[in-house]
Amino acid sequence: MNRSPHAQIAAIDQEIAALTARKAAMQTHVDTPWPRRLTLYAHCSAETNWEKGEALGLTGEALSLFMHFEEIALDVEVAEDGTVTILACDGRALQG
């Protein structure tokens, strides 16, 4: 697809604007005081979960349910020294 030079320049300008916005968002995160809270997403396959579940000693219905977790969201707090504390899993606070 051939675009006019003006269209190409407009597309480049949009890319530059997007990168500038991304840089500003990253800088905002860098300036956030410690400790920082964020959400991490972990992904895995049913096959991997089956193997891990068996290794944990799960059987029957517990193993079947465990193997269907494909994504979990972990709310964590990161200290300045790099220590990570898990606060919640899939929005449910951890007891501890």
pLDDT tier at 80, thresholds 50, 70, 90: confident
Strands 84-89 and 36-43: unpaired
The answer to whether 45 and 70 are in contact (CB under 8 A) is yes
Query: How many whole angstroms separate alpha carbon 74 and alpha carbon 94?
Result: 10
Please write the tens of the pLDDT for every residue from 1-45: 567 877 888 888 888 888 887 777 666 666 778 888 899 888 778
Average pLDDT, the chain: 82
Instruction: Tell me the whole-structure pTM to 2 decimals.
Output: 0.49
What is the token pair recorded at 22?
Answer: 């991304």
pLDDT tier at 96, thresholds 50, 70, 90: low
Predicted local distance difference test score (pLDDT) of residue 77: 92
